[in-house]
Structure 1
Amino acid sequence: MTAPHLTLVDGSGFIFRAYHRLPPLTDPQGVPVGAVFGFTAMMWNLIEAARKSPEDDYLAVILDAGKRSFRHDIYAEYKANRPDPPEDLLPQFPLIRDAVRALSVPCIERDMIEADDLIASYAEAGIAAGMSVTIVSSDKDLMQLVRPGLSLLDTMQNKRFGEAEVLEKWGVPAAQLGDLLALMGDSVDNVPGVPGVGPKTAADLIKEFGSLEGVLGNLEAVKRPKLREALAANVEAVRLSRVLVDLKRDCALDPPLEALKLPESQAQEVLADFLAKHGFRSLLAKLGTVGTAAADSAKATRAASAPPSEAPPAVPFDHAAYETVTTVERLEDWIADARKAGVVAFDTETSALDAMRADIVGFSLATAPGRACYVPLAHVSGEGLYAEPVAQLDKAVALAAVKPLLEDPSVLKVGQNLKYDLIVMRRLGVDIAPFDDTMLLSYALDAGNHNSHGMDELSVRHLSHTPISFKEVAGTGKGQVSFGQVPLDRATAYAAEDADVTLRLHGALKPRLADAQVTRAYEWCDRPLVPVLADMEMAGIKVDRAELARLSALYAAEIERLEGEVHALAGGAFTIGSPKQLGEVLFDRLKLPGGKKSGKSGQYGTDVTELERLAALPEGGIARLVLDWRQNSKLRSTYTEALQNQINPDTGRVHTSFSMAVASTGRLASTDPNLQNIPIRTELGRRIRYAFVAEAGHRIMAADYNQIELRLMAHIADVPELKAAYAAGQDIHAITARQLFGLGADAAVDRDQRGRAKTINFSIIYGISAFGLAQRLGIDRGEAARFIERYFEQFPGIQRYMAETTAFVREHGFVRTLYGRRVNLPLIRSKVMGERQFAERAAINAIVQGTSADIIKRAMIRMGPALKDAGCRGTRMLLQVHDELVFEVPDDEVEWVQPVIRAVMAGAVGPALELSVPLGVEIGVGASWGDAH
């Protein structure tokens, strides 16, 4: 007979994990419940696993009752640095206690006793009673308890810590971990420790001297002078720290240990009422008929006071109801169902994340909430030589059957991040149109409010349902298999659910566009751009591998040279890439002024801002060399080396991926590789663009909007001086220089004056402060403030625009671009002044930058049809980089394609809008991207 098993859950760890893992959710009463839902779901899984185990299981959740404990009587500053919980988490604490009780699990807390001490006491009692004990936590303090029969399960890492794992992580046995924690201290809990002593040093000391008291009793034997001095100066602080980190293991057990026994069955009605009250539909569905009845009852209660138009009850998610389609007849039935419905969700399962290298494994369809299927095409049973195909449809047959549906103009296809699926299917000869994309719907509605618009997050946010994760079906780490090796029943549950979720999200999101007044942004700028970007990604761009290798060698030589100079100035070799070693060299060895150590790491700051500060000093030459070393190192690792590995072996080209739902302003991002962040302000960075070349018989053409954001500011802020200058084709930066520096109207402007005026023009329209402008121009703050004042005197419309925009965002929490794109700025409600000021500057920037992003999207959308109408069928658009479009043009189209590109870009703003300032477009041509500039 196996020994009973005791599971003690560190409730705080679960709560904060749930809070940070899931997006904000509210229940039908409008109360925040994101952390409650995540906590309940994790506890549910834990309880189910316990009930399935062969042991008698005991389980409890342990919580902190309040902020104060007996340790505050020992040390008043204990935990003084801990911030208050987020405002939207505070009302969830009592609901989490309700959740634990609804799950029929004891919820234990005690005034003036910390949860760690209660856990330690119950753990000791469990061991004494012959139980095996698992503590569910990631708290390092609780690792002190680990011993035979007692382990710690860190669900954050999905890792169990026994004696060997604790020793591997900390370098000392669990029994000595308290000594180590006392030496290193804890900034979060405000446990003093010894400044500068980290876990490795602490472990080395304990291994050398046997214990904390062994260290303190033999200080004269500590070899490192600075460490010896630090220890000697902090003996009392360390002894205090040892008391603070020690766990109290003899707390009275109330309730007693035997009361923690997990009941054989759940009090379903109580749990169902709790879940229904808070709208946790996916968990309710797991309770079957009891859950359905509770959901109906809660719905009826709400309906009594709800408007008549409230939506019907949601269909529960039922993975068992999804169908695995393995015959043509059943696939045809599903296709007929989709045609009848007029809308179908579609999703592919593939062998890779790179759409240009991925092979299709299967696809899923959903025609109504809860009605979905998976069509496997390339699954196998077994691995390697033993892999055998399973019963599934022939790929060619299935694709031929579904192609007419996906291309049928009368059936709306719905996808999540559909650009990926579109590329996968286009490579198979199938197009997808017309379509909606739930990721882009969410982005249009909630850009800025949420960082992620992925399907899992959207499902939790809008459907209160956590989808099956990929790792749940395919595994993790070395045990992970490809999706084609996942058994069909699990593959169907995962894949069909994706289509089901996507269809439901479409129903939840699409109707909100009109009310939020973001239809134009979605329909005019985002949705029609998807196939355009798919074309560009499939086209890719050619890179000259030999040129990359040459540049890589050049950078390597420069890195070596700079390294030698830095070491010479430093008086010896050290690892330049180590912030710790660099800080010690700059501030301890060379005594450069102004070094500041971080409270968290105890290291000197050596970021780019700090190095630039030092480089401006007469004695700061070494800092300038380090900056150059870093830039060369980054160029080599990120571009010249990495790009060679990212050349597609089938096409010989690099295929970046354009992300559409990242920047809140609507700007596109580029990843794998990122071709938008190639530095161009230095000669070193510009060299890389010369490695991007045209195919034989072609040229690279770069078309760039000229000062589009300044032009838009002239229009949006209604600045007569700027509008007149642009209409006359004058040099704006020269005009600004003459006004700021008190020059005559016809006076010559030198390069430095124009450069400063350019910096001021682009900085002030983004709301820069006098401090920020002073840093950029290398002048004192007073002079920068006078520049800003003089600028607003010359262009009062810009100052008025900034004031009006700031007032609007403070009141409404968002701003809009000229195309109605809504940029949400939740930090404007922050209690932290710096965060509010950041949101104000972002609002000023967002209208201009967001409108610029919308305009170039409209140009991209119109470019293909315009080129086709002009007969320029060989010209391909390859890249979009901020305000620039890059094309590959056949030699015989170079002359006559330029006016077409110029006209499309210059006229992209209309007919919906009309600007009072012309859009200028500059075009360059060359054998490479670098030559085209």
Structure 2
Amino acid sequence: MRIYRHNVAGETVTVYVPQDERDLERFRDWVLTARTRGPIALDTETTGLDVFGASYRLRTVQFGDEREAWVIHWERGGAFRTSALWALEVIERFRIHNAPFDWLVLDRHAGVSLESLAPRTVDTKLLAGLVDPRQPQEGGIGTGLKPLSAYYVDPTAPDTQGDLTAVFRSLGLTKATGWAGIDLDHPTYNLYAGLDVILTSRIAPVLAAELSRLGVRDVLVQYEHEIARICAVMQRKGMILDEDYVRTLSGLLRQEEDEYTKVAARYGVENVNSTRQIAEALIGMGETLTERTASGALKVDKAVLLALADMSMQWERLNTRTPNPLADAVLRSKRAGKWCTAYADTFLETVDESGRIHPFINSMQARTGRMSITRPALQTLPSSDQMVRRALLAEEGHVMVSTDFAAVEMRVLAALADVKRMKEAISTGQDLHDFTARLVFGEGFTKAHRKLCKGVGFGKVYGGGSATIARQTGAPMDDVQRAIAAYDRVYPEIKRASARWQREAYQSGMVHVSATGRRLPLDRDRTYAVVNYACQSAARDVLGQSMLNMEEAGLLDYMRLPIHDEVLCSVPANEAADIAREIERCMTFDLFGVPIEAEAEIGKRSWGSLYGADY
């Protein structure tokens, strides 16, 4: 037996690393005793993050409580694996930090299904996010094991990953290769593998007590665990990749990047990532740049360039000015390069042996609880894109079905703020943006008026000010400000709700409690964002409840991705119409008297077919 000791919060804790059958017998005795005392923390060490990669390996499985940890070398096989599998079966309750990752690792590489693990798991990362969803850079504690341990357990709690990275360098390994290349018996590797479960064991009861003190309901905690499980099931299933198409796409994107890089060079911009070169060239072309970065440099970010190129944030033509050819070229060059690297290349790097990619779905990412998808970040694709989406396919004999909520942000706003006129328009089936434009500009309103009112409405929901609305709609600033004032007159409840929510937040430690009981911390210099947080959080939970409804209806096997306010499914072509209606039913319900409705669109085999692709 290898034994390592360490000091945590003034106590000596012990990490055991079994070496033979006698040691494993001691481990099994410990499990039988420890499980009677309460939940046991569980963690894994692997060769990296790409769980579904062909060369990926599970190296260790570790179990622990507040004072002891056992690191079982799965990689050794034989009795080590048998003992780990036995423990995974007989332990009734687990504590895991970032449980979906370990669920998927053990499901894929140990044959222990996530369906068997999830009901027995409390995820301390989810608990932390419900206590305070902010990351350190936002003024929060963070949801990583290190900052949580330092805050709640011991300010000197070891930075396991940081220490191991230093070890990797000393061994001639990189951060990317170290997890696979470090010797299984390395003392630092084993010590910190064990310490992670000890720290998880210690923060779990503290977080549970904090949730109780703050009045966070148990039903919300359980709800988040259910959503995490559903997202893990979708990640495990993955999506079929059209690899031939992606290889062709990669080449086309590199060609497009090169083409527009050359256009930019004709205007004196040798490097499309050089803000100085771009700013100087634009000024030389007669453009006026007024916005500056925190360091004082002229700002030429995406928003500025889109306005100069006469495009909205969705890359739609605004027809408000002559497009600047340099701004257009820089945007297109950078987008092509980003799409090639972030999507096409990442698809090919992460595709598994069966031709599938498995994007990671973080079920509770943003401060508001909004979900995110990484590697690749599919939620960042513009709504008009078909090119990248064309790469992802439904099952053989299936078609893609996308079901999206109808104007969910505005409906949620109407429900939460009890906006009488909005609720009237929604209940009578009117187009809300037409209705608003009619109230603001009269019966003779134009398409431009409608677009402006829509922009103001989304500005209320997403927290955008007049400058952002002007940029997105192409309307002059004076027109935007007049429209905002008129919007406030016809929908006074929104402004009153914002003032009430801000006042309540000041009285409760700068925290707004959402409709579902989620705690949403506010920044003192941006309390007006409370409307945005309230609406975004409720819209996210509308999506989450819909996903639970879909599982209850037997649709989980068809579900592939939650994207913003949309659920993407792969369904048998000959049953598509019936299944689409059932999905719509699951995503339709009442929110404080406002009907939340969804509409399903049936495509062809590729996701891109829902955006205009022909396959």
Per the normalisation by structure 2, the TM-score is 0.86
Change (3 A) 1:342 1:441: same
The alignment status of 1:549 with 2:238, answered yes or no, reads: no
Larger Rg: 1
Q: C-alpha distance in 2, partners of 1:434/1:317?
A: 29
For the 8 Å contact 2:130–2:519, the answer to whether it is kept is yes
Which of 558, 564, 569 does residue 882 from structure 1 map onto? Answer: 564
Change (3 A) 1:563 1:496: closer
Deviation of 1:742 after TM superposition, in Å, equals 1.4
Q: C-alpha distance in 1, partners of 2:370/2:292?
A: 36
Change (3 A) 1:856 1:362: same
For the 8 Å contact 1:763–1:773, the answer to whether it is kept is yes
Residues 781-796 of structure 1: pairs in structure 2 closer than 5 A? 781-796=477-492
Q: C-alpha distance in 1, partners of 2:67/2:84?
A: 24
For the 8 Å contact 2:386–2:609, the answer to whether it is kept is no
The equivalent of 1:455 in structure 2 is 145
Q: C-alpha distance in 1, partners of 2:409/2:308?
A: 33
For the 8 Å contact 2:132–2:521, the answer to whether it is kept is yes
Counterpart AA for 1:476: F
SS of the aligned residue for 2:571 comes to: strand
Q: C-alpha distance in 1, partners of 2:597/2:49?
A: 39
The alignment status of 1:479 with 2:160, answered yes or no, reads: no
The equivalent of 1:663 in structure 2 is 366
SS of the aligned residue for 1:447 comes to: coil
Which of 14, 22, 25 does residue 329 from structure 1 map onto? Answer: 25
SS of the aligned residue for 2:151 comes to: helix
Q: C-alpha distance in 1, partners of 2:39/2:10?
A: 18
For the 8 Å contact 1:721–1:795, the answer to whether it is kept is yes
The equivalent of 1:925 in structure 2 is 602
Deviation of 1:615 after TM superposition, in Å, equals 4.0
SS of the aligned residue for 2:452 comes to: helix
The alignment status of 1:721 with 2:398, answered yes or no, reads: no
SS of the aligned residue for 1:562 comes to: helix
Q: C-alpha distance in 1, partners of 2:34/2:291?
A: 64
The equivalent of 1:893 in structure 2 is 575
Change (3 A) 1:714 1:482: closer
For the 8 Å contact 1:525–1:854, the answer to whether it is kept is no
Q: C-alpha distance in 2, partners of 1:539/1:354?
A: 14
Counterpart AA for 1:373: W
Deviation of 1:858 after TM superposition, in Å, equals 2.2
The equivalent of 1:608 in structure 2 is 302
For the 8 Å contact 2:231–2:363, the answer to whether it is kept is no
Q: C-alpha distance in 1, partners of 2:297/2:465?
A: 29
For the 8 Å contact 2:50–2:350, the answer to whether it is kept is no
Aligned pair count? 574
Mark the runs of 5 or more structure 2 residues left unpaired by the alignment: 311-320
Deviation of 1:512 after TM superposition, in Å, equals 2.0
Which of 39, 44, 50 does residue 354 from structure 1 map onto? Answer: 50
SS of the aligned residue for 2:387 comes to: helix
For the 8 Å contact 1:419–1:531, the answer to whether it is kept is yes
Q: C-alpha distance in 1, partners of 2:38/2:356?
A: 39
Change (3 A) 1:401 1:614: closer
Change (3 A) 1:696 1:598: closer
Q: C-alpha distance in 2, partners of 1:763/1:603?
A: 27
For the 8 Å contact 1:806–1:844, the answer to whether it is kept is no
For the 8 Å contact 1:815–1:823, the answer to whether it is kept is yes
The equivalent of 2:521 in structure 1 is 824
The equivalent of 1:405 in structure 2 is 90
Change (3 A) 1:527 1:762: same
For the 8 Å contact 1:768–1:841, the answer to whether it is kept is no
The equivalent of 1:804 in structure 2 is 500
Percent identity reads: 25
Q: C-alpha distance in 1, partners of 2:516/2:467?
A: 33
The alignment status of 1:710 with 2:405, answered yes or no, reads: no
Per the normalisation by structure 1, the TM-score is 0.58
Change (3 A) 1:491 1:629: closer
Post-superposition Cα deviations, 1:246-275, rounded to whole Å, max 9, x if no partner, equal xxxxxxxxxxxxxxxxxxxxxxxxxxxxxx
Deviation of 1:850 after TM superposition, in Å, equals 0.4
For the 8 Å contact 1:315–1:370, the answer to whether it is kept is no
SS of the aligned residue for 1:318 comes to: strand
Q: C-alpha distance in 2, partners of 1:713/1:619?
A: 35
Deviation of 1:315 after TM superposition, in Å, equals 6.6
The equivalent of 1:861 in structure 2 is 548
The equivalent of 2:318 in structure 1 is none
Change (3 A) 1:399 1:893: farther
Deviation of 1:540 after TM superposition, in Å, equals 0.8
Q: C-alpha distance in 2, partners of 1:901/1:795?
A: 32
Change (3 A) 1:573 1:852: closer
Change (3 A) 1:779 1:753: closer
Deviation of 1:414 after TM superposition, in Å, equals 0.6
Q: C-alpha distance in 2, partners of 1:771/1:471?
A: 42
The alignment status of 1:539 with 2:234, answered yes or no, reads: no
Residues 393-792 of structure 1: pairs in structure 2 closer than 5 A? 394-406=79-91, 411-427=92-108, 428-430=110-112, 431-432=116-117, 433-448=119-134, 449-450=139-140, 452-464=142-154, 465-467=156-158, 469-470=160-161, 472-473=163-164, 475-477=167-169, 479-480=172-173, 481-482=178-179, 485-487=183-185, 489-520=187-218, 522-568=220-266, 570=267, 574-587=270-283, 589-590=284-285, 592-594=287-289, 600=295, 604-615=298-309, 620-648=324-352, 650-681=353-384, 685-743=385-443, 751-792=447-488
SS of the aligned residue for 1:527 comes to: helix
For the 8 Å contact 1:325–1:373, the answer to whether it is kept is no
For the 8 Å contact 1:441–1:522, the answer to whether it is kept is no
For the 8 Å contact 2:242–2:392, the answer to whether it is kept is yes
Counterpart AA for 1:919: I
For the 8 Å contact 2:289–2:299, the answer to whether it is kept is no
Deviation of 1:393 after TM superposition, in Å, equals 5.4
SS of the aligned residue for 1:667 comes to: coil
Deviation of 1:603 after TM superposition, in Å, equals 6.0
Which of 581, 584, 598 does residue 902 from structure 1 map onto? Answer: 584
Post-superposition Cα deviations, 1:646-704, rounded to whole Å, max 9, x if no partner, equal 222x22111111224531100111111111111124xxx33221221112111111111
The equivalent of 2:313 in structure 1 is none
Post-superposition Cα deviations, 1:786-810, rounded to whole Å, max 9, x if no partner, equal 1112112211111211221222233
Q: C-alpha distance in 2, partners of 1:717/1:596?
A: 34
Post-superposition Cα deviations, 1:823-851, rounded to whole Å, max 9, x if no partner, equal 112x31xxxxxxx1xx2232111111101
Post-superposition Cα deviations, 1:355-398, rounded to whole Å, max 9, x if no partner, equal 2234221211123x21222112215xxxxxxxxxxxx8535422
Post-superposition Cα deviations, 1:72-122, rounded to whole Å, max 9, x if no partner, equal xxxxxxxxxxxxxxxxxxxxxxxxxxxxxxxxxxxxxxxxxxxxxxxxxxx
Q: C-alpha distance in 1, partners of 2:582/2:289?
A: 56
Q: C-alpha distance in 1, partners of 2:449/2:456?
A: 11
Counterpart AA for 2:145: M
Q: C-alpha distance in 1, partners of 2:478/2:47?
A: 60
Deviation of 1:575 after TM superposition, in Å, equals 3.1
Counterpart AA for 2:432: I
Change (3 A) 1:810 1:857: same
Deviation of 1:641 after TM superposition, in Å, equals 3.2
Q: C-alpha distance in 2, partners of 1:429/1:619?
A: 57
Counterpart AA for 2:560: L
Change (3 A) 1:783 1:633: same
Q: C-alpha distance in 1, partners of 2:292/2:426?
A: 49
- Larger RCO, structures 1/2 (Cα 8 Å, 6+ apart): 2
The equivalent of 2:34 in structure 1 is 338
